Amino acid sequence: MYLFGASGHARVIIEILEQCNVKIDGLIDDNTSILSLLDYPVQHPPLIDIPADAGMIISIGDNLQRKQISKKYSFSYGKAIHPSSVISSRVIIGEGTVIMGNAIINTGTEIGRHVIINTSASVDHDCRIGDFVHISPNATLCGGVTVREGTQVGAAAVIIPNISIGKWVTIGAGAVVICDIPDYSVVVGNPGRIIKTGKSIQ
């Protein structure tokens, strides 16, 4: 397995893969000053030597950067799932997705590609999580929540049941979302209120 990105987020993924006894062959990063991370070698584009059948995880926390890299490179993407996470056997998890320690994902949930479910996040039954979403530490999605592409749900935020959140939304840390949220919005507070709605960043 290779990782694209040599940052703090990459260190967490490395340790997940080590706990799962997954062999890590190296990392890739644009920063040419980074030569290794946790004793694993780092290569730099454009001169990267990756076997065609090697697994890859984009180890970058920024949702838009993960999307851009996934469009630029045609790797075979793997997954990293911490052994302490609790995941129903009836959950669908897309390629490139990372699930951190103590996360809980309940039955009927579908998770897209290159998603981050961070430490101790709780995703209840029948949620739909789009590609490139980041569910931050200790965030709670109650049952039947939809989160569309690229959205960031902040640390300890709570989304009540059956809420629909648009794409590329930012939910602030600790926010409590009690109504549907349109695309490209920023939401803060308890109860959550929209303080900004912008245009596409794509």
Q: Which domains does the chain have, with CATH numbers?
A: 2-77 (3.40.50.20), 81-188 (2.160.10.10)
pLDDT digits (tens, 9 = 90+) for 90-134: 999 999 999 999 999 999 999 999 999 999 999 999 999 999 999
Instruction: Give the Cα separation of 68 and 196 in Å (integer).
Output: 24
Beta bridge partner(s), residue 134: 116, 152
Could you tell me the pTM of the whole model? 0.94
Residue 97's beta-bridge partner residues?
none
Cα(93)–Cα(32) distance, rounded to whole angstroms? 33
- Point out which residues pair with 117 in neighbouring strands: 99, 135
Q: Which residue has the tokens 């669908």?
A: 92
The token pair that represents 165 in the structure block: 């959140």
Supply the pLDDT for residue 200. 60
Secondary structure string (H, E, C) spanning the chain? CEEECCCHHHHHHHHHHHHCCCCCCEEECCCCCCCEECCEEEEECCECCCCCCCEEEECCCCHHHHHHHHHHCCCEECCEECCCCEECCCCEECCCCEECCCCEECCCCEECCCCEECCCCEECCCCEECCCCEECCCCEECCCCEECCCCEECCCCEECCCCEECCCCEECCCCEECCCECCCEEEECCCCEEEEECCCCC
Asked about 82 being catalytic, the answer comes back as no
Q: Are 166 and 151 a contacting pair, CB within 8 Å?
A: yes
- 82, 114, 125, 134: which is the annotated catalytic residue? 125
Cα separation, 64 vs 131, whole angstroms: 10
C-alpha dihedral, 18 to 58 to 133 to 149, nearest 10°: -150
The dihedral built from the CA positions of residue 55, 50, 30 and 45, taken in this order, carries a sign that is negative
* Ordered per-residue pLDDT tens for the chain, 202 residues: 999 999 999 999 999 999 999 999 999 999 999 999 999 999 998 877 788 788 999 999 999 999 999 998 888 999 999 999 999 999 999 999 999 999 999 999 999 999 999 999 999 999 999 999 999 999 999 999 999 999 999 999 999 999 999 999 999 999 999 999 999 999 999 999 999 987 765 5
Q: Are the C-beta atoms of 63 and 152 separated by less than 8 Å? A: yes
